[in-house]
Structure 1
Amino acid sequence: MSTAPTAPTLPGSDTGGQHARRFGLPVATALVMGNIIGGGIFLLPASVAPFGTISLVAFGVLTLGALALALVFGRLAHRHPVTGGPYVYAREAFGDFAGFLAAWSYWITTWVSNAALAVAAVGYLDVLVPVHHSTAAALGAALLIQWLPACANLAGTRYVGAVQVVATVLKFVPLLIVAVGGLLFFDSANLGPFRAGDESALGAVSASAAILLFSYLGVESAAVSAGEVRDPRRNVGRATVLGTLAAAGLYLLTMVSVLGTVPHDRLVVSTAPFADSVNLMSGSTWGGAAVACMALVSMLGALNGWTLLSAQTPYAAARDGLFPQVFTVKRRGVPTVGVVVTVVLASLLTVYNYTAGPGGVFEALVLVTTFTATVPYLLSAAAQVYFLLSGRADRVRGARLARDAALALAAFGFSLWLVAGSGYAAVYQGVLFLFAGVLVYAWMAARKRAAAPAGAAVAGGTAEAPGTPVTVNQAPGA
Structure 2
Amino acid sequence: MHDTGTVTKPAPAPQHEDTSSKHARRFGLPVATALVMGNIIGGGIFLLPASVAPFGTISLVAFAVLTAGAIALALVFGRLARRNPQTGGPYVYAREAFGDFAGFLASWSYWITAWVSNAALAVAAVGYLDVLLPIHGSKLWTIVAALAVQWLPALANLAGTRYVGAVQLVSTVLKFAPLLLVAVGGLFFFHADNLGPFQASNDSPLGAVSASAAILLFSYLGVESASVSAGEVRDPERNVGRATVLGTCLAALVYLLCTLAVFGTVAHDKLVDSGAPMSDAVNAMFGGTWGGTAVAVSALISIVGALNGWTLLSAQTPYAAAKDGLFPAVFTKKKRGTPTVGVIVTVVLASLLTVYNYTAGSAGVFETLVLVTTFTATVPYLLATAAQIYFLLSGQGHKVDGARLARDMVLALAAFGFSLWLVGGAGYAAVYQGVLFLFVGVLVYAWIAARKKRGAVDATD
Specify the TM-score bucket, using the shorter chain as the normaliser: 0.7 to 0.9
Q: Which residue of 1 aligns with 2:174?
A: 170
Q: 1:265 to 1:330 in 2, by over 3 A?
A: farther
Which of 411, 431, 445 pairs up with 1:407?
A: 411
**CA positional deviation for 1:206:** 2.9
- Give 1:219's aligned amino acid: V
* Mapped contact 2:74–2:223 kept (Cα < 8 A): yes
Aligned to 2:345: 337
CA contact (8 A) 1:13 1:83 kept: no
Report the more deviating stretch, 380-389 or 329-338: 329-338
2:422 match: 418
1:443-462 matched pairs, under 5 angstroms: 443-453=447-457
Partner of 1:378: 382
TM-score by length of 1: 0.80
Q: Give yes or no for contact 1:327–1:338 (8 Å, CA) kept in 2.
A: no
The aligned counterpart of 1:158 is: 159
Distance 1:329 1:158, change over 3 A: closer
Separation (CA, whole Å) in 2 of partners of 1:142 and 1:431: 32
Mark the CA change 1:28 to 1:309 in structure 2 (over 3 Å): closer, same or farther: closer
TM-score by length of 2: 0.83
Fraction of identical pairs, as percent: 69
Residue identity in the other structure for 1:78: R
The residue correspondences of 1:158-237 to structure 2 (distance < 5 A) are: 158=159, 161=164, 164=168, 167-237=171-241
C-alpha distance in 1 between matches for 2:193 and 2:419: 34
Per the TM alignment, residue 36 of structure 1 is displaced from its structure 2 partner at its CA by: 2.8
Q: Kindly tell me: are residues 308 and 236 of structure 1, through their superposed partners in 2, closer, same or farther at Cα, counting changes over 3 Å?
A: closer
Match of 2:264 among 250, 260, 263: 260
Query: 2:15 matched to 1:10?
Result: yes
Give the residue type in structure 1 aligned to 2:348: V
Structure 1 residue 86, shift from structure 2 partner: 0.9
CA contact (8 A) 1:327 1:337 kept: no
Q: Which shows bigger deviation, 37-46 or 170-179?
A: 37-46
Does structure 2 conserve the Cα–Cα contact (< 8 Å) formed by 1:211 and 1:370?
no
The alpha-carbon distance between structure 1 residues 145 and 75, as it changes in their structure 2 partners (threshold 3 A), is same
In structure 2, relative to structure 1, the CA distance for the partners of 1:383 and 1:202 (3 Å cut) is same
**SS of corresponding position for 1:218:** coil
User: What letter is aligned with 1:151?
Assistant: W
Which amino acid in the other structure matches residue 93 of structure 1? A
Distance 2:456 2:351 in 1: 34
Match of 1:276 among 280, 284, 300: 280
Q: Which residues of structure 2 form unaligned runs of 5+?
A: 1-7
Q: CA separation of 1:436/1:144 partners in 2, compared to 1, >3 Å: closer, same or farther?
A: farther
Secondary structure in 1 aligned to 2:288?
A: coil
Q: What is the match of residue 355 of structure 1?
A: 363
1:465 aligns to what? none
Structure 1 residues 310 and 343: CA distance shift in structure 2, 3 A: farther
> Which piece of structure 1 moves more, 179-188 or 221-230?
221-230
Q: How is 1:237-248 mapped onto 2 (pairs within 5 angstroms)? A: 237-248=241-252
Pair 1:439-2:424 in alignment = no
Deviations 1:245-294 (A, max 9, x none): 22221221111112222233433343332222212222211233123223
Decide whether the 8 Å contact of 2:107 with 2:318 is kept in 1: yes
Q: Distance in 2 between matches of 1:351 and 1:398?
A: 60
Matching residue of 1:59:
63
CA distance in 2, matches of 1:391, 1:131: 59
Q: CA deviation at 1:337?
A: 2.7
1:147 is matched with 147
Is 1:44 aligned to residue 48 of structure 2? Answer: yes
Kindly tell me: are residues 79 and 318 of structure 1, through their superposed partners in 2, closer, same or farther at Cα, counting changes over 3 Å? closer
The answer to whether the 8 Å contact 2:74/2:248 transfers is: yes
Call closer, same or farther: CA 1:372–1:265 in 2, change over 3 Å.
farther
| Alignment partners' CA distance in 1, 2:138 and 2:425 | 28
Counterpart selection for 2:299 from 295, 299, 303: 295
Measure, in 2, the Cα distance between the counterparts of 1:434 and 1:265: 42
Q: Is the 8 A contact 1:308 1:339 kept in 2?
A: no
For the 8 Å contact 1:114–1:346, the answer to whether it is kept is no
The 3-state SS of whatever aligns with 1:453 is helix
Alpha-carbon distance, 1:183 to partner = 1.8
